[in-house]
A and B are shown apart, each in its own frame.
Chain A
Amino acid sequence: MRCGFCGREFSEELGASACANCPLSKLKGSQGCGHVKCPYCGYENPQETKFEQKLRTWSWRKRSQTDDTHSLANLPKGVPAKICQLDKSSAKDLQKLLAFGIMPGQSVEVIQRYPTIVVKVGRTTVALDKQVAAQVFVCAS
């Protein structure tokens, strides 16, 4: 999150580390004081709710996300790209991707993103869900 006083970005866990010594956080049944202390300037920022977080990050067009920028799950429609890497943690999914010719070096283009991601790899059209698409990493072609 972003400190409202000094404007620096910090992770909420880092801010919450100050709570360890605070008597308020030890009160039974309470959620603490609802504030997060900025580790840089000490200013106590009100905690962001999920709704506020959504509101802050919401925009018309899904921007390229800060994490997994290079995953196929976030590749915008119609932008030609090249597959540069695959996530190999799931042997089963990896095998499936390889079977459809989704492997490093292939050019790829997203045809559509909703309700299921549809991509063109070479001359093959493949539909994959977010979970599988997130295992494919792409770079600019």
Chain B
Amino acid sequence: MSNCHCSPTQTNATGQRRRRRRRGQPINPEPTLDQHKPLFLVGNPNVGKSLIFNALTGAYVTVSNYPGTTVELSHGHLNLGGIVFDVIDTPGLYGLLTVTEEERVTRSLLLDQRPEIVLHVVDAKNLERMLPLTLQLKEAGLPLILVVNMLDEAAAVGLQIDLELLQTRLGLPVVGTISTTGEGLEQLRETIRGYAVNPPQHQPYTSSYFADQITQAQAQIADLLRQDYTLSKTTIAELLLAGEPEITEKLATQEPLYSQIAPIIAATAERYAEPLNFVLALQRQNAVNQLLDGVVTERASQQRRWSTWLNQATVNPWTGFPLLLLILYFGLYKFVGVFGGGTIVDFIETKFFAEIFNPWIDNLVESYIPWPVLQNLIAKDYGIITLGLRYAVAIVLPIVGTFFLAFSIIEDSGYLPRIALLLDRGFKKIGLNGRAVIPMALGFGCGTMATMVTRTLETKRERVLATLLLALAIPCSAQLGVIIALLSGSAKALALWSLIVLGILLLVGYLGAQVLPGEQPGFCLEVPPLRLPKLRNVLAKTYTRMYWYFLEVLPLFILASVIIWAADLLKIFDLALAALNPIVNAMGLPNEASVAFLFGFFRRDYGAAGLYDLQQSGLLGFNQLLVAAVTLTLFVPCIAQFSVMWKERGWKTAIAIAGFIVPFAFLVGYSLNLILNLLGVML
């Protein structure tokens, strides 16, 4: 899996290696100049790494407050007086002994590539927790600069940090920064430049704080290693001693003398009652605590009281759940559903497209293109511009845009981990844990993106379950917006729809959790302090996500229009519709609804948007709308989501999921119609 992260990196890095030299500038004598040097930013999640990345490169990438959202790597260039760095923002890393997928990505980056400089970004408030990684990276022989970030937050809780003392004790450059205001960044640039021009000599560094037995074992193993590594041999030896599974497995086959190494590991492990990774972590922590003695001084804190109160209120169940409901109601329903899906869509769709744009295009096409077949391709009922572009711009874009805006605000404020901890118990019932909140919440934005993000879940079982539930019962924002608009005429229908879909989510999740083998990993998550989101970041993030979405969505909409046009021309469509009609009729829906279902595969929201047209023309009653909305929500994911399912989970799982969903969706629709009729309910 980690390979798929690394390969685009490498192609990117080499692809962008263009020579750059400004005219009139003297050619620099140093041979190292005028080349792209890889510079890595590493550090725990939530230390402001991405903000520093942005400040250094000027380019924007996703910055987030949730541990583990930056699955993708961000690239950027930093030009310091002729020295160009290829800056790479790596996913959050807690230590070289990894737990999550993202950490493995970062470690394999450190293992496989040779960074010129590594910036280790740490949170000034939590130095004693962050510095063990600094020591680890230093021992690994990486060219390290320590960036102590968030000095303002540390000062706010009454911490004073003697950076100079820290620098002498660590023996590496230390720079203090406040990434939110940009303080200290100029100094950081200078330090980087100085480091690149005049790299400090790397003397082989060995840790002196481990117990003698361990240091000896480390040295013995290091002597026996024959391969070449980017990280120092003592570090590799340490990883082997700690029993890191991936490295152990790899080296067991690659190292010729591994048969001599294994007994050393076993003998060292035998000396301790506890696992070696624990012993190593503890001894390193002791070293850090000693190192920090006198570096950090604590005064009485003067934390603002409202923020402490808010931090508490969002996690306390009595206040947390009502707050969550409020945020969902205003953020999701009012803002995305009613404002985005109602007001804006109404305005663009009816005021602009239906009244001005479409008639104008139709006229234009009719007067300049004589062939009706071509006329239909571009304009008219199913045309590329009048249908494809209209759906994408008028119906989908406003909804997705408002969703991503709301999501980015929630994400940047650090609220997502709080949702995760509030909902952990509920998620456990459906075989997931609180961590799954991210892909699930994103699923309300775009199922395709969310399915991609499921790779951050820990076990295969969770990933499959989350993929299934995303495909089945989580409506994406475009669909959600259209459905809310569809059913907005009847509060009862809307309530019933949400109850039914929620019920199915829980039922299928519960059953799936019983059926799928594998154990449930424990839930353990860092809760970052709530922060006021920065407007610029929120906007930029919304923009990047919308941009990505639009790039992904528009071609599909156009493709769908073309397919519909071609199928219409060749009468293939009629065949498919004829096959679908009896099923749709059995659910008590008119033939026209078949079109909506058929479109639904090209995009789920496309289908819902088709229903919207039907409702506008008054062909459907609320009973029928409810049945159609439920079926369409459950129905197959769109082509894009399906292809990501295929890619991420493999074809067997993807087909199995689709094979379950399609009949199930129709079955539910059919039963719902039957029940409504039997009970004589009229909504």
Contact = CB atoms under 8 A, between A and B. Distances in A.
A118 B422 CA distance: 10
Contacts of B197: none
Interface stretch (A20-28, A32-40, A54-62, A108-116): A108-116
Given A91-B243, A124-B129, A127-B524, A103 B99 contact: no
Contacts of B420: 127
B421 A100 contact: no
Contact of B125 (A91, A115, A123, A127): A123
B523 A112 contact: no
Interface stretch (A7-15, A42-50, A128-136): A128-136
Contacts of B129: 100-101, 122-124
A116 B434 contact: yes
A88 B317 CA distance: 31
Q: Could you say which of A88, A92, A125 has the most chain B C-beta atoms within 10 Å of its C-beta?
A: A125
Contacts of A41: none
B496 interface: no
Contacts of A84: none
Contacts of B518: none
Contact of A123 (B98, B157, B316, B425): B157
Contacts of A95: 95, 97-99, 277
Nearest to A93: B522
Interface in A73-110: 86, 88, 90-101, 103-105
Interface residues of A, number: 34
A115 B419 CA distance: 11
A105 B316 CA distance: 27
A10 to B, nearest CB: 33
B422 A122 contact: no
A11 B310 CA distance: 48
A139 interface: no
B526 interface: yes
Nearest to A98: B281
Interface string B177-219: 0000000000000000000000000000000000000000000
Interface in B474-533: 521-529
B97 to A, nearest CB: 6
A98 B317 CA distance: 27
Given A98-B278, A127-B523, A103 B422 contact: no
B315 interface: yes
B95 A97 contact: no
A126 interface: yes
A128 B126 contact: no
A128 B433 CA distance: 11
A74 to B, nearest CB: 16
Q: Could you say which of B98, B157, B285, B421 has the most chain A C-beta atoms within 10 Å of its C-beta?
A: B421
Interface of A is mostly: mixed
Nearest to B420: A127
Given A115-B317, A115-B421, A116-B424, A103 B524 contact: no
Interface string B88-104: 00000011011100000
A89 B94 CA distance: 21
B526 A129 contact: no
A111 B285 contact: no
Given A101-B129, A123-B125, A124-B129, A132 B278 contact: no
B524 A126 contact: yes
A112 B522 contact: no
Interface in B123-159: 125-126, 128-129, 157
Given A91-B243, A95-B277, A112-B316, A105 B525 contact: no
B99 A115 contact: no
B282 interface: yes
A105 B285 contact: yes
Contact of A118 (B95, B99, B315, B458): B315
Contacts, number: 114
Contact of A116 (B94, B243, B275, B523): B523
B527 A127 contact: yes
B526 A124 contact: yes
A127 B420 CA distance: 9
A116 B425 contact: yes
Contacts of B97: 95
A116 B422 contact: yes
Contact of A122 (B128, B278, B527): B128
B275 A118 contact: no
A127 B312 CA distance: 13
Given A118-B315, A123-B157, A127-B525, A94 B278 contact: yes
A89 to B, nearest CB: 9
B417 interface: yes
A103 B421 contact: no
A114 B317 contact: yes
Contacts of A86: 278
B274 interface: yes
Contact of A129 (B282, B422, B458, B523): B523
Contacts of A93: 521-522, 524
A88 B274 contact: yes
Given A123-B126, A123-B157, A129-B523, A116 B421 contact: yes
A123 B274 CA distance: 27
What 3 A-B pairs are tightest by C-beta distance, nearest first?
A99-B94, A132-B522, A127-B421
28 contacts: A88-B274, A88-B278, A91-B275, A91-B277, A92-B99, A94-B277, A95-B98, A98-B281, A101-B126, A103-B281, A104-B282, A112-B315, A115-B424, A122-B126, A122-B129, A123-B125, A124-B526, A125-B311, A125-B526, A125-B529, A127-B417, A127-B424, A127-B523, A128-B525, A129-B433, A129-B523, A132-B522, A135-B522
Given A92-B521, A127-B526, A127-B527, 8 more contacts: A86-B278, A91-B275, A99-B95, A111-B312, A116-B424, A126-B524, A128-B525, A129-B523
Interface of B: 94-95, 97-99, 125-126, 128-129, 157, 243, 274-275, 277-278, 281-282, 285, 311-312, 315-317, 417, 420-422, 424-425, 428, 433-434, 458, 521-529
